[in-house]
C-alpha cells in the first residue's frame, strides 16, 4: 500500500519499513532557491523534485504569566527564527554596524545587573556569532537570573500540522538562545561563549562549565514543559560542536550527553520525539548517542563532507534501535557527479542502511548549490528503492 509522505517519514522514524525509501533534504536555504530555482517557495521545491516534504516551525510565544512582551526591535522573522520575548528586566537593543562585507548587528541585552553584548553576522548563505554574549564567567548568572523563556504556541503547531495533514512532516527544535543559539546544551554554550573557549574551560574550570550547562538545561526544560499537546512529528536537538571532529568522546560524554539526555527524557514525557543532530564525526560515539534515547540520529556525514561515517558499519551497530537520517554526500552528488553516479550513490545508501527500514535518505546537512538534473536523479532513484 502506498503511503503519504508524512506517513512514510514517520514510519521510518518509528524504525519500521515503509513502502519505499523516504527521501528528503534538511533545511532548504533561501539563497539556493533564489540563485538556482528562480526564488520558488519551499513547498514547490519538494513538489517539483518529488521529495518527501518537511515543514519547519519555531513557535515561540510570550508567557503572559511572567509579564513577557515581544521584542519590538525584531521587525521580521529570519530563517528558522522564532519571535523573541523580553521582560522589563531583559530588554533588547539592536544596532546595525557599519560593515561593507557582512550584515552585522550588535545586540545589547539590558538587565538590572548590567548589559550583555554580542555581535551577530550573516551573508546570503549562513550566519554566525562574531562576538559571543558571555564575556566573563560571571555573565552566566545574569543569563540565569534574567533571560526569559518563551512558551510553545501549541495552537500554531497544531494548525501547521492540520494544514499539512499527510503531505509533510512537521519538524521543530528544542529551545535555544534567541539570537544565534542552537538546541543542544553544549552547542548553545559554544554559541554563547565560543567553541574553543568552551573546550579549554573543560580543562581549566570544569565546575564552571557544568554550572553553565545546568543553567541552559533549566531554561530548555522549562520550554519543553510547554510543548505538551503540540503536534510535532519530531524535534531537533544537538549540534555540530558536539561531534567528534570538534570534541573528544570524553568531552562529549561528560559535558554534552548527560544534559541533552535529560532533554530527551523530558521531551518524551510530553509526547515529543527527538532527532539528535551531529553534523561531523559520529562513529566513535554512535552507541553513546544511542544510549541518550533519541528516536532518530543524523547527519551521518561522509568523509567527503568532512565527517567520518561508514554508513554500513553504522547500520550494523545501531540499526533497528534508532532511525538513521542522512549519509548522503550532497557536495559531490548534487554538484560534480554525473546522473548515473548520483543514482549509484543513492543505491549504495539504500543498500548500506535501508535494510528492514528505519532509514531516511537525506543530505548530510545544508547545500548551497545543486544541479537540477542531479536533484531529479537523487529523488527519482530513491523512489525506485522499494521495500518488498
pLDDT in tens, 130-175: 999 999 999 999 999 999 999 999 999 999 999 998 899 999 999 9
**C-beta separation of 256 from 246 below 8 A:** no
Beta carbons within 10 angstroms of residue 47's beta carbon? 13
**C-beta separation of 323 from 359 below 8 A:** yes
Rounded to whole angstroms, the Cα distance separating 168 from 231 reads 12
Domain range holding 90?
Answer: 84-145
329 belongs to a structural domain: yes
Verify that 12 and 161 share a domain, yes or no.
yes
> What nine digits make up the cell of 373?
538534473
Taking 90 as the threshold, does the pLDDT of residue 101 lie above it? no
Dump pLDDT digits (tens) for 336-370.
999 999 999 999 999 999 999 999 999 998 888 89
Rounded to whole angstroms, the Cα distance separating 141 from 205 reads 16
Beta carbons within 10 angstroms of residue 203's beta carbon? 9
Dump pLDDT digits (tens) for 237-251.
999 999 999 999 999
Dump pLDDT digits (tens) for 7-64.
999 999 999 999 999 999 998 988 899 998 999 999 999 999 999 999 999 999 999 9
Provide the 3-class DSSP secondary structure of residue 382: helix
Mean pLDDT of 319-337: 96
Provide the 3-class DSSP secondary structure of residue 185: helix
Verify that 202 and 318 share a domain, yes or no.
yes
Taking 90 as the threshold, does the pLDDT of residue 388 lie above it? no
Boundary-marking domain end, from 126, 145, 164: 145
Verify that 300 and 355 share a domain, yes or no.
yes
pTM here is 0.96
Taking 90 as the threshold, does the pLDDT of residue 301 lie above it? yes
78 belongs to a structural domain: no
pLDDT value of position 77: 82
69 belongs to a structural domain: no
Domain count for the chain: 2
Boundary-marking domain end, from 124, 145, 166: 145
Mean pLDDT of 114-134: 94
Dump pLDDT digits (tens) for 195-209.
999 999 999 999 999
pLDDT value of position 254: 98
**C-beta separation of 128 from 180 below 8 A:** yes
pLDDT band at 297 (very low <50, low <70, confident <90, very high): very high
Amino acid at each position: 500500500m502506498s503511503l503519504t509522505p508524512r506517513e512514510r517519514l514517520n514510519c521510518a522514524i518509528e524504525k519500521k519499513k515503509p513502502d519505499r525509501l523516504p527521501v528528503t533534504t534538511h533545511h532548504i536555504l533561501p539563497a539556493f532557491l533564489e540563485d538556482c530555482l528562480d526564488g520558488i517557495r519551499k513547498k514547490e521545491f519538494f513538489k517539483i523534485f518529488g521529495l518527501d516534504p518537511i515543514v519547519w516551525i519555531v513557535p515561540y510565544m510570550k508567557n503572559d504569566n511572567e509579564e513577557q512582551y515581544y521584542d519590538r526591535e525584531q521587525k521580521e522573522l529570519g530563517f528558522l527564527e522564532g519571535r523573541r520575548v523580553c521582560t522589563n528586566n531583559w530588554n533588547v537593543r539592536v544596532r546595525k554596524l557599519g560593515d561593507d562585507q557582512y550584515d552585522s548587528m550588535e545586540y545589547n541585552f539590558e538587565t538590572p545587573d548590567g548589559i550583555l553584548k554580542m555581535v551577530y553576522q550573516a551573508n546570503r548563505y549562513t550566519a554566525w556569532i562574531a562576538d559571543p554574549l558571555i564575556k566573563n564567567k560571571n555573565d552566566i548568572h545574569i543569563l540565569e537570573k534574567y533571560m526569559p523563556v518563551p512558551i510553545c504556541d501549541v495552537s500554531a503547531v497544531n494548525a501547521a500540522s492540520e494544514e499539512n495533514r499527510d503531505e509533510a512532516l512537521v519538524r521543530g527544535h528544542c529551545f535555544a538562545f534567541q539570537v544565534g543559539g542552537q538546541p543542544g546544551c553544549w552547542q548553545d554554550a559554544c554559541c554563547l561563549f565560543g567553541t574553543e573557549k568552551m573546550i579549554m574551560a573543560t580543562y581549566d574550570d570544569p565546575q564552571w562549565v557544568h554550572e553553565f550547562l545546568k543553567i541552559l538545561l533549566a531554561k530548555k526544560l522549562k520550554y519543553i514543559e510547554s510543548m505538551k499537546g503540540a503536534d510535532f512529528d519530531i524535534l531537533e536537538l544537538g549540534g555540530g560542536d558536539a561531534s567528534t571532529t570538534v570534541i573528544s568522546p570524553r568531552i562529549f560524554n561528560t559535558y554534552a550527553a548527560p544534559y541533552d539526555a535529560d532533554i530527551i527524557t523530558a521531551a518524551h514525557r510530553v509526547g515529543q520525539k527527538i532527532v539528535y543532530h551531529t553534523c561531523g564525526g559520529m562513529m566513535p560515539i554512535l552507541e553513546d548517542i544511542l544510549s541518550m534515547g533519541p528516536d532518530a540520529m543524523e547527519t551521518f556525514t561522509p568523509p567527503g563532507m568532512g565527517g567520518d561515517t561508514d554508513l554500513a558499519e553504522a547500520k550494523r551497530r545501531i540499526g533497528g534501535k534508532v532511525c538513521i537520517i542522512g549519509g548522503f554526500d550532497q557536495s559531490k552528488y548534487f554538484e560534480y557527479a554525473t546522473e548515473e553516479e548520483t543514482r549509484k550513490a543513492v543505491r549504495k545508501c539504500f543498500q548500506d542502511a535501508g535494510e528492514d527500514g528505519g532509514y531516511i535518505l537525506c543530505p548530510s546537512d545544508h547545500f548551497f548549490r545543486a544541479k537540477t538534473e542531479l536533484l531529479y536523479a537523487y529523488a527519482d532513484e530513491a523512489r525506485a528503492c522499494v521495500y518488498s
